[in-house]
Structure 1
């Protein structure tokens, strides 16, 4: 029986461009990086807790370069390929640690990507992947509905529900899989500042068929809807759910 084709929800080109834009915007002194910073800090804390000291590591998606610097300071040889596609096989196995900062929120074939990550590990190697999950950005989603209440367009791509992650890891053959989540809450004075923060951090829309830009009346409704959700201090809270997947390749290398 021929397997069903993988639907193309995300654009490989748009996914790469949003990372390039984040690297470029990082040159600004006020560019946001709190999500990547949180993921990097979480990675280093978990490595210390597990007493895992990588000798050869692969880091993907870290547009800040912060994680590679930390790992190299600890003596690891770190690869950071400029061009890569998680939906294609990664460099042949041999890494004792792979870190993914973001990226998995916009993958068409997520089970396949998880298999590629496992195969790139040396036997007993560790992989740790962080990305934003399905409970993220409720205020922004509500504002987009306010903008187009009658016929809302797909302006935000679907995100992974962490409840589905354990099954995905098992299907991909990860050993000792663990799924954790935590939330970051950030307070915004305007919708425009939130959108700027998303662009700063490579979290823009990566849909293969994105909707046309909002017109002026719709954008005004979106801004008003976002402002209507402010607290007493005049700021609107927004939530980012961070999903962390951790697992290993078996010592037998399977």
Structure 2
């Protein structure tokens, strides 16, 4: 009897931004057991929250996408204390972590704050804000996710997100290439490419920008520990075998070459930020036009709003 072929373990398509699906699942399993979200994510969440002040809309329903590692729940609660807070995780283990974190938060339960789980996207009923902190660079199919977000947002609502950019850890890329060690990380999506995908997904008026941070460490051990806390190497083209003790010793020696004038190990980090709105659908005129009732109602409501 022929047994069915095993499912594919990686997503090795033509795009350089593709990730290894098996490695992604392994890292999600490891990170779900961590005591707290990655150290960088809380910092980036704070920078994202500062941008909410530029948005006039006061959302009544907020969806925190990938909250288990996003470190954003309290920031969103402070920004929108009267909003209904929802959350969604694509990975089952991270969803379990997020659910446990909310069940243990007695202070939030005492205040009666609503933190419902959205198990499947698109969210129904629609939300006014989809928020995603430091998750898109670990997404297997970014175009599909953006389309699901767009379908989850009510007309007039918006999405706000952050992720790693392609210039992150460029020093490691050169170091690995010099030693023939494969890729230390995927080729993450460029800011402009993400903006194009946001438009293609149906959003309007995307605003994209990036920031560069210079991170320093005193020792190779502390550098590697912090990088491990952020997640593992998800590049399909990474070295596929097991690394030995000799390789680690050589890696530590190579990392020592990254010291700056002050004797600190230095790496570059690129952060990509973006937000966009969901506009009312445009009705095209043709000999025969098919329009959903929901789209027609949204368009009529938009036309009645005062200018």
Q: Shared topology, TM-score over 0.5?
A: yes
1:3-55 residue CA offsets vs partner (Å, 9 max, x unmatched): xx98294244543543453353335xxx851x212321122111122233221
Cross-structure match for 2:221: 192
Matches within 5 A, 1:18-29: 18-27=27-36
Q: Name which of 46, 51, 57 aligns with 1:46.
A: 51
Question: Counterpart of 2:210 in 1: which secondary structure?
Answer: strand
Change (3 A) 1:32 1:99: closer
Question: Counterpart of 1:80 in 2: which secondary structure?
Answer: strand
Residues in 1 aligned to 2:131 and 2:32: alpha-carbon distance in whole angstroms: 18
Which structure would you say has the larger Rg? 2
Q: Name which of 137, 158, 162 aligns with 1:126.
A: 158
Deviation at 1:91, TM superposition (A): 2.5
Residues in 2 aligned to 1:156 and 1:78: alpha-carbon distance in whole angstroms: 33
Change (3 A) 1:177 1:157: same
Matches within 5 A, 1:75-94: 75-84=82-91, 89-92=121-124, 94=126
Q: Name which of 234, 241, 244 aligns with 2:270.
A: 241
Residues in 1 aligned to 2:19 and 2:176: alpha-carbon distance in whole angstroms: 20
Which ranges of structure 1 fall in alignment gaps of 5 or more residues?
none
> Which structure has more RCO (C-alpha within 8 Å, separation ≥ 6)?
1
1:187-244 residue CA offsets vs partner (Å, 9 max, x unmatched): 012333222212323x322345752233233322222222112023221111110001
Contact 1:102/1:132 (CA < 8 Å) preserved in 2? Answer: yes
Which ranges of structure 2 fall in alignment gaps of 5 or more residues?
1-10, 93-119, 282-294, 299-307
Contact 1:133/1:162 (CA < 8 Å) preserved in 2? Answer: yes
Q: TM-score, normalised by structure 1?
A: 0.81
Cross-structure match for 2:250: 221
Q: Which moved more, 1:73-82 or 1:17-26?
A: 17-26
Q: Which moved more, 1:171-180 or 1:218-227?
A: 218-227
Deviation at 1:64, TM superposition (A): 5.1
Give yes or no for the alignment of 1:98 onto 2:117: no
Q: TM-score, normalised by structure 2?
A: 0.68
Change (3 A) 1:93 1:173: farther
Contact 1:36/1:62 (CA < 8 Å) preserved in 2? Answer: no
Cross-structure match for 1:59: 64
Deviation at 1:155, TM superposition (A): 3.8
Contact 2:172/2:184 (CA < 8 Å) preserved in 1? Answer: no
Deviation at 1:118, TM superposition (A): 0.9
Cross-structure match for 2:114: none
Contact 1:144/1:222 (CA < 8 Å) preserved in 2? Answer: no
Residues in 2 aligned to 1:145 and 1:11: alpha-carbon distance in whole angstroms: 19
Question: Counterpart of 1:228 in 2: which secondary structure?
Answer: helix
Contact 2:173/2:183 (CA < 8 Å) preserved in 1? Answer: no
Change (3 A) 1:17 1:111: same
Cross-structure match for 2:182: 153
Change (3 A) 1:192 1:61: farther
